[in-house]
Amino acid sequence: MKKRMFFLSRLLLISILPLLNSFAQDSSQWHLPDGAIARLGKGSIIDIRYAPDGAHFAAASTIGIWLYDAHTYKETALLTGHTWSEVSVIAFSADGKTLATASWDDPVRLWDVYTGQLRATLTGYVNDVNAIAFSPDGKTLAIANANEILLWDPKTGKQRTRLSRHTDSVKAITFVPDGSRLVSASSNGTMRVWDLLTGQHKSVDVKGNKYADIVFSPDGKVLAIAHRNIRQIKLWETDTGQFLRTFRTAASVDTIAFSPDGKILVSSSSWPDYPIELWNAQTGEPLATFTGHTWIINTIAFSPDGKTLISGSNNGTLLVWDLETGENQKMLQGYLGSVGVIAFSPDGRTLASGSSPHTIQLWDIDTQRPRAKSEADAFWVWGLEFSPDGQLLVSGSSEEVLVWNPHTAELHARYQPWYGAIAFSPDGETFASGRFDGTIRLWDTHTIQNSADIQSRAVLDEHRTSFYCLAFSPDGLTLASGSIEGTVLLWDVSTTQLKMTLTGHKERVNTLAFSSDGKTLASGSWDAPIRLWDTETGMLRRTLNGDSDGITSIAFSPDGKILASGNGDGTVQLWNTHTGQAQGTLTGHEYEVNSVTFSPDGRTLASGGGEGTILLWKVQSEVLEDVNGDGVVNIDDLTFVANRIGQVGDGNAADVNDDGVVNILDLVVVAGAIE
């Protein structure tokens, strides 16, 4: 008996180890790509669903599915594995033990909620899943795939039957409580009621096309349709197709949901203040209005007891509401919109991120947790920089430039005539900003905290069109600007005169970066190759060609040995600046990489992606004196250089000081490294 109990205890311990490990490990470490040391941000919110037993809820995001303990609001697991990580549809089984998930162009997957393990993958059909639903007894899973409905046995993973009478894409499905019938609605306004015992069905036209959202009541007796671009929600009886009533909302409706008992209908709207409105579903009487979101709400979910509501918006805000008091109980942190730009503070202890719509998030690098967050009435964040003394944080968008407190993310000032291209001079005395008309203004940094005191030092107006990026040289004497027409202009800051124009890019210049010694300027564009320019002569020194969908961001490491590029294909490329050779590729972002930046000590590279995450990577510069690449600097490296004395040209590993010729000076550098 004791042996049996010992065996069962060991078996139980083994079975819960994965769950214990997930609680012990910080969520920023879960399912990291190779080479990454942390992930900041959980992606962008797509859908939320409670488990029927109320123990868990799931939040589908652009990087996977986050599972939460519904009582503590702590993350319990991150489910990943879909080829296309943006999960669009999720549903719990009736007992809450299984979660079904679907992403665009990818098979439905079934997960064990308590272990996080993948139980089954349902294949054998064209993947265009818009809705999924479990039967009340959990023995059938219905999948709305394009214009048909597939019925599966979730236990065996085998397909049972196919219901294919719809002529347009099926957008909503539900089982009636006894499981005998399935109700479905398509995008052309046709609703069908299926008898699952006989296979018979009847069709009802509810004239619900051009809708923003469509849902069934929990008992399947009522269909609610939120019509697109008009302030109306219409309810229909599913058995007869009889029109029931119309709800007139405060603004155009984005999403709707029924309470578990079907007595309350909730809707979210856009302008002017993104309200959540609660209605009596049987009478149409308005019950309450909640406000707190600052951007479009794309998902709403009731807890099974009907006492709590969770709402998620496109800017990454996830709010928990008490339905009895109407109070916002909690905000779940970490979700972001598309990350457009990131920046390290001068001391390296804080990372700031700018995401769309205009949201500034401060992250504690030591704890890898969010510290402070603020929002502005603007959209895409194009520029983000700390002042060299760390006392200011400035962001730029398509509409305005904003000045923030770098510790609290409190907004200090805003300037609407400017736009996103911004830069601080290295000494912190000058701030540069741009306008849509192509002019660049230089401002006294000490005056930009208060719009009434701001003082312009100079106006640079040689650009014929708008531009997207600015960068100061390390000595602060040169300002570089990249234009929409593919040119790079170098300005003398002291005289405010144009020094030279660099041409070669065929599309707009997205990003600029000076090397630490100021002798090289790197430029990146949608035309893919990175160009390295000699800042003294304006000559093109070399191009860096890699496999990418255009260059969105570039950054030199503080020692100048590595150039990192963020690419449109979701990768980060590392380049050896001495040889021009690719040093490695970092993969892990689901969408385009919009921004890359090195920490001040050069040990960490951060990359921000369009899927709403920031990845931190540990990087190490190659030792240039190890010219033969064997991992150690010794007599063999001296021999390597000596055998190449007199050789000229770029990209020669023996030319350690990168002056274009292999000579005695290179031998001295290698000898010094041995010593």
Do 514 and 651 lie in one domain? The reply is: no
Shared domain for 179 and 242, answered yes or no, is: no
Q: 200 or 569: whose pLDDT is higher?
A: 569
Shared domain check, 668 and 598: no
Whether pLDDT at 8 is above 60 = no
pLDDT band at residue 18 under the 50/70/90 scheme: very low
Provide the pairing of β-strand 467-472 with 478-483. Answer: antiparallel
Q: Are residues 568 and 655 in the same domain?
A: no
Shared domain for 487 and 532, answered yes or no, is: yes
Of residues 496 and 187, more confidence is placed in 496
User: Residue 456's pLDDT is what?
Assistant: 77
Say whether pLDDT at 427 is over 60.
Answer: yes
Sole residue written with tokens 């939040």 = 59
| Range with the poorest average pLDDT among 10-14, 251-255, 352-356 | 10-14
Query: Which residue from 507, 514, 513 is spatially nearest to 529, judged by alpha carbons?
Result: 507
The whole-number pLDDT of residue 191 equals 87
pLDDT at 176: 92
Q: What pLDDT, on a 0 to 100 scale, did the predictor assign at position 123? A: 87
Residue 491 lies in a domain: yes
Least confident stretch, 290-294, 361-365, 621-625, 652-656: 621-625
Do you know the residue count of the chain?
675
pLDDT band at 434; cut points 50, 70, 90: confident
Q: Are residues 503 and 649 in the same domain?
A: no
Q: What is the mean pLDDT of residues 646-653?
A: 80
Same domain, 177 and 242: no
pLDDT of 63 strictly over 90: yes
Half-sphere CA count of 405, side-chain side, radius 13 A: 10
d(CA 3, CA 8): 9
Report the alpha-carbon distance of residue 245 to residue 239 in Å, rounded.
16
Q: Does one domain contain both 488 and 543? A: yes
| Residue 3 pLDDT | 43
Domain boundary residue among 175, 205, 235?
Answer: 205
- Picking from 183, 205, 227, the residue at the C-terminal end of a domain is 205
Tell me the CATH number at 609. Answer: 2.130.10.10
Contacts of 217 (CB under 8 A, 6+ apart): 223, 224, 258, 262, 281
Least confident of 23-37, 86-100, 466-480: 23-37
Tell which wins on pLDDT, 626 or 473.
473
- The verdict on residue 380 lying in a domain is no
> Which of 163, 182, 205 is the last residue before a domain boundary?
205
pLDDT surpasses 70 at 4: no
**Mean per-residue pLDDT for 319-330?**
92
The rounded distance, in Å, linking the Cα atoms of 445 and 456 is 10
105 occurs within a structural domain: no
Average pLDDT over residues 491-500: 94
**Tens digits of residue pLDDT in 228-257:** 777 889 999 988 888 999 998 888 899 999
Confidence at 208, pLDDT banded by 50, 70, 90: low
Q: What's the rounded Cα separation, in Å, for the pair 409 and 400?
A: 17
pLDDT for the residue 49: 96
Q: In this prediction, what percent of the chain has a pLDDT beyond 70?
A: 92
- Could you tell me if 586 and 548 lie in one domain? yes
pLDDT of residue 641: 87
Q: Is the pLDDT of residue 342 over 50?
A: yes
Contacts of 101 (CB under 8 A, 6+ apart): 60, 65, 79, 82, 87, 89, 90, 108, 109, 111
Q: Indicate if the pLDDT at residue 447 is higher than 60.
A: yes
Name the β-bridge partners of 268: 255, 276
Query: What 3-state DSSP class applies to 216?
Result: strand
Q: If you average pLDDT over residues 414-419, what whole number do you get?
A: 73
CA angle, 625 then 626 then 630, to 5°: 175
418 vs 644: which has the higher pLDDT: 644
Strand-strand pairing, 45-50 and 497-502? unpaired
Q: How many domains does the chain have?
A: 4
Rounded to whole angstroms, how far apart are CA atoms 133 and 98?
12
Asked if residue 163 belongs to a domain, the reply is yes
Across 54-63, 280-289, 397-406, 647-656, least confident range = 647-656
Range 45-54 average pLDDT: 95
- Work out the pLDDT band at 11, boundaries 50, 70, 90: very low
Same domain, 145 and 281: no
3-state DSSP helix/strand/coil % of the chain, to nearest 5: 5, 45, 45
Same domain, 668 and 542: no
pLDDT at 207: 67
The predicted structure's pLDDT at residue 19: 41
Each residue's pLDDT tens digit, 143-171:
998 889 999 999 999 999 998 878 888 99
What is the pLDDT averaged over residues 398-418? 85
Decide if pLDDT at 14 tops 80.
no
Q: With a cut of 70, say whether residue 16 has pLDDT above it.
A: no
Six-digit token string for 84:
């296309």
Band the pLDDT of 667: cuts 50, 70, 90: confident
The whole domain housing 640 covers: 635-674
pLDDT above 60 (res 403)? yes
Cβ atoms < 10 Å from Cβ of 18:
14
Residues 626 and 379: their CA atoms lie apart, in Å, by 47
491 burial (CB, 10 Å; 0-12 / 13-18 / 19+) is buried
Give ∠ CA 181-182-186 in degrees, rounded to 5: 150
Stretch among 24-38, 487-501, 613-627 having the lowest mean pLDDT: 613-627
Task: Find out whether 293 and 274 touch, Cβ atoms under 8 Å.
Answer: yes
CA 38 to chain centre: 15
What distance in Å separates the CA atoms of residue 158 and residue 153, rounded to the nearest whole number? 5
pLDDT at residue 45 is higher than 70: yes
The per-residue pLDDT for range 627-639, each reduced to its tens digit, is 776 768 888 888 9
SS3 letters for 516-530?
A: CCCCEEEEEECCCCE
- Residue 37 falls inside a structural domain: no
Cα separation, 474 vs 571, in Å, equals: 28
For position 22, what pLDDT does the model report? 41
pLDDT at 10 over 80: no
Round to whole Å and give the CA distance between 356 and 336: 8
Asked whether 643 and 655 are in contact (CB, 8 A), the reply is no
Q: Which residues contact 651 (CB under 8 A, 6 or more apart)?
A: 542, 579, 580, 581
144 and 283 in a single domain? The answer is no
Q: How far apart are CA 447 and CA 592, in angstroms?
A: 36
Is there a domain that residue 665 lies in? yes
How far are the Cα atoms of 43, 82, 96, 337, 468 from residue 61, in angstroms, in the given order? 5, 12, 20, 11, 30
Residue of 581 and 399 predicted with greater confidence? 581
Contact between residue 108 and residue 101 where contact means Cβ atoms under 8 Å apart: yes
Please check whether residue 51 lies inside any domain of the structure.
Answer: no
Q: What is the pLDDT of residue 13?
A: 37
Report d(CA 446, CA 437) in Å as an integer: 25
Query: Which pLDDT value is given to residue 30?
Result: 95
Residues 73-93: what's their mean pLDDT?
90
What is the overall mean pLDDT for the chain? 88
Q: What is the CATH number of the domain that holds 158?
A: 2.40.10.480
Instruction: List the structure tokens of 611.
Output: 């899927």
What is the residue-wise DSSP string for 264-293?
EEEEEE-TTT--EEEEETTT--EEEEE---
pLDDT of residue 12: 36
The predicted pLDDT at position 17 comes to 37
Choose between 642 and 400: higher pLDDT: 642
Tell me the HSE value of 58 on the side-chain side, using a 13 A CA sphere.
29
Distance CA 567, CA 477 (A): 30
Helix (H/G/I), strand (E/B), else coil: 28: helix
List pLDDT tens digits, range 514-562.
Answer: 999 999 999 999 887 899 999 999 999 999 987 678 999 999 999 999 9
> How many Å apart are CA 488 and CA 503, to the nearest integer?
7
Put residue 115 in one of left, alpha, beta given phi > 0 → left and psi -120 to 50 → alpha: alpha
485 found inside a domain: yes
